[in-house]
Amino acid sequence: MAKEIVAGTTSINAPIGPKRKAKMSLMARREELTGWLMAGPWIIGFLLWTAGPFGAAAYLAFTDYDILSTAQYTGLENFRVMLFQDELFWVAMRVTTVYALVSIPLQIGLGLFLAILLNSRIRGLAWLRTLYYLPTILSGVAVSFLWVWVFSADWGVLNYVLSLVGIQGPSWLTSQDWALSALVIMSLWSVGAGLVIYLAGLQGVPTELYEAAELDGAGRWRKFWSITLPLISPVILFQLIIGIIGALQTFTQGYVMTEGGPNNATLFFLLYLWRNAFKFLNMGYASALAWAIFAYILVLTLIVLRLSESWVFYTGEIKGRR
């Protein structure tokens, strides 16, 4: 039997009148309209600056287009030239891949190491965290000019420090053997961004797990390997994926510091893409290059996500780990 509302005459199960239905419908439409208005700027921006360029690049990749004349459809010609005739495509792919293979593990390892050091109660901890994070908010161009001074062969800071211990520093940015290594060293400048994320992950590890491990006689290394590392493995996965995406899209350092030289030693893929698009006005071929790097990043990301099933652990999944 339906309960009656004591203070009124309307039953809870009583049907809603037409006027109330119309009022509720009007309020729902207003809320929906408000939602669309709020999301409108983002939707417009997405269509103009993301979906639009994606669609344009997909079309231009199959054309011969130099901006100054009408695009001519050429089918898969751009991709055929890219894969079988363009030697610089493979040079740029190799340089970018080597840079990523070296810089990403260094950034992950150094970021995690510093986060563990800072995840303790020491004086000035907040200042140290801020100090490490500050470089990540500086302009890439300004940072590149700063590191040009650091790597200078004649009056650079790095070679001066090496000379203090009796080491003759190389010509970093003008040497084919050392230019890419110099840019890898420079990539560690922004390790603070990952450090903050690692700190958040470390502070999320339950302290009772460490206490239980200490009761069982576990040492620092054992606690790190069996507790800390498994529980922050999702953070490491995130950093790895973000690192892949960022490293394979490196542009500013190669453009500002070395212009891709010497002898194409620092010819990053996006720098080569930029040359084709805005220096040679070969926009159709540049669009094909853009889709190539997009496919490369996508495939690597999917592979990492697939392999992560064997080494990424979430809460409740670390039992049985030895």
Q: Name the band, by pLDDT with cuts 50, 70 and 90, for residue 6.
A: very low
Cis check for the bond before 105: say yes or no (omega within 30 of 0).
no
Is residue 5 over pLDDT 50? no
Kindly list the distances between the CA atom of residue 253 and the CA atoms of 123, 156, 239, in Å, as whole numbers in the listed order.
36, 17, 21
Please indicate, yes or no, whether the overall pTM of this predicted structure exceeds 0.75. Answer: yes
Phi then psi for 293, rounded to 5 degrees? Answer: -70, -30
Kindly list the distances between the CA atom of residue 22 and the CA atoms of 16, 17, 25, 28, in Å, as whole numbers in the listed order.
10, 9, 5, 10
Element (H, E) at 73: strand 72-73
Q: Where are the alpha helices (DSSP H) in the chain?
A: 18-46, 52-60, 77-84, 87-118, 125-133, 140-150, 157-164, 179-187, 191-203, 207-215, 220-223, 229-231, 233-247, 252-253, 269-274, 283-307
Tell me how crowded residue 105 is: count the other CB atoms within 10 A of its CB.
12
Count of all residues that appear for the chain in the document: 322
**Distance (Å, whole) CA 86 – CA 211:** 59
**Distance (Å, whole) CA 270 – CA 68:** 22
- Cβ 183 vs Cβ 262: under 8 Å: no
pLDDT at 4: 43
Residues 214-238 have a mean pLDDT of 90
pLDDT at 1: 45
266 backbone φψ class: left, alpha, beta (φ>0; ψ -120 to 50): alpha
pLDDT in tens, 17-40: 666 666 667 888 888 889 899 999
Is residue 103 over pLDDT 90? yes
Is residue 3 over pLDDT 50? no
pLDDT in tens, 231-258: 999 999 999 999 999 999 999 999 999 9
CA dihedral 149, 155, 161, 163 (to 10 degrees): 150
The two structure tokens encoding residue 189: 């400048």
Mean pLDDT of the chain: 88
pLDDT at 41: 93
Q: Name the band, by pLDDT with cuts 50, 70 and 90, for residue 78.
A: very high
**Distance (Å, whole) CA 214 – CA 244:** 37
Q: Name the band, by pLDDT with cuts 50, 70 and 90, for residue 216.
A: confident
Fold of the domain spanning 77-310: MetI-like fold (1.10.3720)
Is residue 61 over pLDDT 90? yes
**Distance (Å, whole) CA 83 – CA 91:** 12
**Distance (Å, whole) CA 103 – CA 107:** 6
pLDDT at 32: 86
Q: Name the band, by pLDDT with cuts 50, 70 and 90, for residue 118.
A: confident
pLDDT at 17: 62
pLDDT at 320: 44
Residues 197-205 have a mean pLDDT of 89
Across the strands, what pairs with 73?
Answer: 63
Give me Rg for the CA atoms of the chain.
28
Residues 301-321 have a mean pLDDT of 79
Q: Check the CA dihedral 121-126-129-132 and report its sign.
A: negative
Is residue 9 over pLDDT 60? no
pLDDT at 16: 61
Is residue 187 over pLDDT 60? yes
Angle, in degrees to the nearest 10, between helices 157-164 and 140-150: 40
**Distance (Å, whole) CA 221 – CA 234:** 20
Alpha carbon 131 to its chain centroid, in Å, reads 21
The full set of domain ranges for the chain reads 77-310
pLDDT at 308: 93
- Cβ 218 vs Cβ 187: under 8 Å: no
User: Which residue has better confidence, 317 or 137?
Assistant: 137
Is residue 319 over pLDDT 50? no
pLDDT in tens, 151-174: 998 888 999 999 999 999 899 999
% of the chain residues with pLDDT over 90: 61
pLDDT in tens, 261-307: 999 999 999 999 999 999 999 999 999 999 999 999 999 999 999 99
User: Which residue has better confidence, 267 or 67?
Assistant: 267
Parallel, antiparallel or unpaired: strands 72-73 and 63-64: antiparallel
